[in-house]
């Protein structure tokens, strides 16, 4: 079906977000968007190389909603489905500029070659550009990532000093671009729970001075970003901004944040299948998920403390989707087990198996097996790009920028972040609807409820 191209001026006649007034218009995406990436590993280099390949017309941005997705505006009979990037003012890929940090000195070409996600021919074409991006020295402490040890790291008298050095990096980069967003594509840190130091900005700043052990490197970067009013995304399951102190800082400085841990392979499938079972009132007694993975991420996750962080992030989705307290007969006794095994021969080509024990009418058991042979970073790269572009949009949107957590970006994340007291929404299709309705709302278009009775008047 042909779709009409429409302008950003939308005539609004249908349902609106009840009780919520738009705070003002979204500012245009003028000039350069600077993207500061923490960790030039498999995901980050695949994203950066991919953006350059798309800019040069060598490939299509498959998997990216911001680049390929459309959004329906108005009634189904209106046939109006513009591209999302034409409906909301997103930064153009030609205006995106990358920089970042890593604990190794390799430039992005060398790091991408090491990650071995993209083939040699593709990388060779992109080499002149990729080798110009060189990492700045990182904030790193092996206590938080046991399996890594790098030499390209900042030295400072305490964590405050390190945060100030990152702030100086941000300020210098800001002079070369018009807007900045930061994204953590670094390794998974050990499992940390919020402590007293995370309860307020004041306590956090004292903790930086006192080198509090509860403050991980990812939080030092995040603190620096949010202090500078820079939106921050987290691709790993680390605690990072999921603390009262950094949420407070995000709101105070109008620097949007979202949840954590890119939702790419197995959890992506879970948040598609589980809502389907629940919608049909199919019971589930067990869900066993196992993976083999051979990249550096797999090596880091081989450490039990980093694995614990990942496991917690992966476990949450089913519990929330199935709502066993509402459906005890169907989901009360579900046994959910997750395994990740480091297996070097596979590199970035992860293989995931799920065995799902379900039961139907009168309790009769059945089984479903899912075998996903995926490419981890091929799935993650467009998510990283979309998060960056949407966080920049949020920063330019008066309605969104001072709300701190951008729950509408849960769509991309294994661990959505929510306001205190709200349970996270994991169902991919509800997340997708929330995302698109947020875009409609900020542009003053009608929300889509899917009621559709008007077609039968
Ligand atoms: N690939 C996926 O599908 C996927 C999905 C969800 C989450 N993730 C998460 O995204 C993150 C990146 O994944 P990856 O496959 O690119 O891993 P990777 O190991 O290839 O890359 C991580 C990079 O971060 C660097 N690094 C570590 N600590 C750092 C620090 N403190 N400062 C700066 N750089 C630092 C490492 O040197 C490395 O280059 C991991 O935490 C992973 O768990 C990946």
Task: Output the DSSP codes for 138-171.
Answer: BP--TTTSTT---S-B---SSHHHHHHHHHHHHH
Nearest CA owner, ligand 1 atom 40? 187
Nearest CA owner, ligand 1 atom 9? 236
pLDDT tens, residue by residue, 127-180: 999 999 999 999 999 999 988 888 999 999 999 999 999 999 999 999 999 999
To test the ligand 1 pocket, which listed residue (147, 151, 187, 267) has its Cβ within 8 A of the most ligand atoms? 187
Ligand 1 centroid–CA 39 distance in Å is: 6
Nearest CA owner, ligand 1 atom 18? 41
Closest to 342 in 3D by CA, of 313, 376, 366, 365: 376
Closest to 39 in 3D by CA, of 188, 146, 174: 188
Nearest atom in ligand 1 to the alpha carbon of residue 44 is 16
**Ligand 1-lining residues (CB < 6 angstroms):** 38-44, 101-104, 115, 138-140, 145, 148, 150, 185-188, 217, 235-236, 261-262, 264, 295-297, 300, 376-377, 379-380
Ligand 1 centroid–CA 106 distance in Å is: 15
Rounded to an integer, what distance in angstroms lies between the CA atom of residue 283 and that of residue 129? Answer: 52
Nearest CA owner, ligand 1 atom 25? 39
Nearest CA owner, ligand 1 atom 29? 186
Contact 356, 335 (CB under 8 A): no
Rounded to an integer, what distance in angstroms lies between the CA atom of residue 60 and that of residue 66? Answer: 12
Ligand 1 centroid–CA 74 distance in Å is: 41
320 has a pLDDT exceeding 60? yes
- Mean pLDDT on 40-44: 96
Q: Which of 15-19, 217-221, 280-284, 288-292 has the lowest mean pLDDT?
A: 15-19
CB atoms under 10 Å from CB of 143, counted, come to 12
Confidence of residue 409 (pLDDT cuts 50, 70, 90): very high
Dihedral pair phi/psi, residue 262, rounded to 5°: -50, 130
Sorted by sequence, the CB contacts under 8 Å of residue 157 that are 6+ apart come out as none
**If DSSP states are collapsed to H, E and C, what string results for 414-431?**
EECCCCCCCCCCCCHHHH
Contact 359, 218 (CB under 8 A): no
Apex CA 31: angle with CA 231 and CA 226, to 5°?
A: 15
Confidence of residue 309 (pLDDT cuts 50, 70, 90): confident
Question: How are beta strands 232-234 and 257-262 bridged, if at all?
Answer: parallel
What integer best gives the mean pLDDT of the chain?
92
Ligand 1 centroid–CA 176 distance in Å is: 26
Nearest atom in ligand 1 to the alpha carbon of residue 235 is 10
Closest to 431 in 3D by CA, of 453, 451, 415, 454: 415
Percent of the chain with pLDDT over 70: 95
Nearest CA owner, ligand 1 atom 39? 41
Nearest atom in ligand 1 to the alpha carbon of residue 238 is 41
To test the ligand 1 pocket, which listed residue (43, 238, 372) has its Cβ within 8 A of the most ligand atoms? 43
Q: Which of 4-18, 157-171, 232-246, 258-272 has the lowest mean pLDDT?
A: 4-18
Nearest CA owner, ligand 1 atom 42? 236
Contact 46, 115 (CB under 8 A): yes
pLDDT of residue 265: 87
pLDDT tens, residue by residue, 280-303: 999 999 999 999 988 877 888 788
To test the ligand 1 pocket, which listed residue (111, 186, 307) has its Cβ within 8 A of the most ligand atoms? 186
Question: What is the C-alpha end-to-end distance of the chain, expressed in Å?
Answer: 24
To test the ligand 1 pocket, which listed residue (297, 309, 375) has its Cβ within 8 A of the most ligand atoms? 297
Dihedral pair phi/psi, residue 259, rounded to 5°: -80, -150
Nearest atom in ligand 1 to the alpha carbon of residue 265 is 3
pLDDT tens, residue by residue, 103-113: 999 999 999 99
Q: Is 413 helix (H, G, I), strand (E, B) or coil?
A: strand
Confidence of residue 22 (pLDDT cuts 50, 70, 90): low
Rounded to an integer, what distance in angstroms lies between the CA atom of residue 84 and that of residue 423? Answer: 28
Label residue 447 exposed, middle or buried (CB < 10 Å: 0-12, 13-18, 19+).
Answer: middle
Tell me 136's DSSP state. Answer: E
Phi-psi sector, 261: left (phi>0), alpha (psi -120 to 50), beta = left
Sorted by sequence, the CB contacts under 8 Å of residue 436 that are 6+ apart come out as 71, 72, 448
């Amino acid at each position: 079906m042909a779709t009409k191209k429409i302008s950003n001026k939308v005539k609004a006649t249908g349902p609106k977000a009840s009780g919520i007034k738009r705070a003002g218009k979204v500012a245009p995406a003028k000039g350069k968007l600077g993207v500061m990436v923490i960790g030039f590993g498999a995901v980050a280099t695949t994203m950066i190389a991919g953006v350059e390949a798309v800019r040069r017309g060598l490939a299509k941005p498959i998997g990216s909603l911001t680049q390929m997705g459309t959004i329906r505006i108005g009634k189904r009979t209106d046939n109006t489905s513009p591209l999302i990037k034409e409906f909301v003012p997103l930064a153009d890929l030609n205006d995106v500029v990358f920089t970042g940090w890593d604990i190794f000195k390799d430039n992005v070409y060398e790091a991408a070659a090491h990650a071995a996600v993209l083939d040699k021919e593709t990388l060779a074409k992109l080499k002149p550009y990729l080798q110009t991006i060189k990492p700045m020295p990182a904030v790193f402490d092996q206590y938080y990532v046991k399996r890594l040890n790098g030499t390209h790291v900042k030295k400072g008298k305490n964590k405050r000093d390190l945060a100030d050095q990152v702030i100086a990096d941000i300020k210098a980069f800001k002079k070369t671009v018009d807007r900045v967003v930061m994204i953590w594509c670094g390794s998974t840190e050990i499992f940390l729970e919020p402590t007293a130091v995370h309860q307020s900005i004041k306590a956090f700043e004292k903790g930086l001075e006192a080198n509090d052990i509860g403050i991980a490197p990812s939080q030092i970067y995040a603190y620096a970003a949010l202090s500078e009013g820079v939106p921050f995304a987290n691709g790993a399951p680390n605690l990072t901004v999921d603390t009262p102190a950094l949420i407070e800082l995000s709101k105070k400085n109008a620097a949007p944040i979202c949840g954590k841990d890119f939702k790419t392979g197995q959890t992506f499938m879970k948040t598609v299948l589980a809502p389907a079972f629940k919608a049909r009132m199919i019971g589930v007694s067990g869900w066993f998920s196992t993976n083999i993975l051979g990249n550096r991420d797999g090596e880091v996750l081989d450490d039990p403390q980093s694995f614990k962080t990942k496991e917690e992030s992966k476990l949450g989705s089913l519990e929330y989707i199935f709502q066993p307290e509402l459906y005890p007969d169907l989901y009360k006794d579900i046994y959910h087990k997750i395994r990740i095994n480091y297996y070097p021969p596979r590199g970035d080509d992860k293989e995931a198996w799920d065995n799902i024990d379900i039961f139907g009418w009168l309790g009769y058991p059945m089984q479903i097996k899912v075998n996903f042979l995926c490419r981890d970073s091929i799935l993650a790269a467009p998510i990283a790009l979309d998060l960056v572009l949407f966080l920049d949009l949020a920063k330019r949107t008066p309605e969104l920028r001072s709300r701190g957590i951008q729950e509408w970006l849960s769509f991309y994340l294994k661990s959505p972040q929510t306001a205190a007291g709200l349970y996270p929404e994991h169902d991919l299709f509800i997340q997708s609807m929330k995302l698109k309705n947020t875009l409609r709302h900020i542009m003053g278009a009608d929300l889509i409820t899917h009621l559709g009775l008007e077609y039968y008047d």
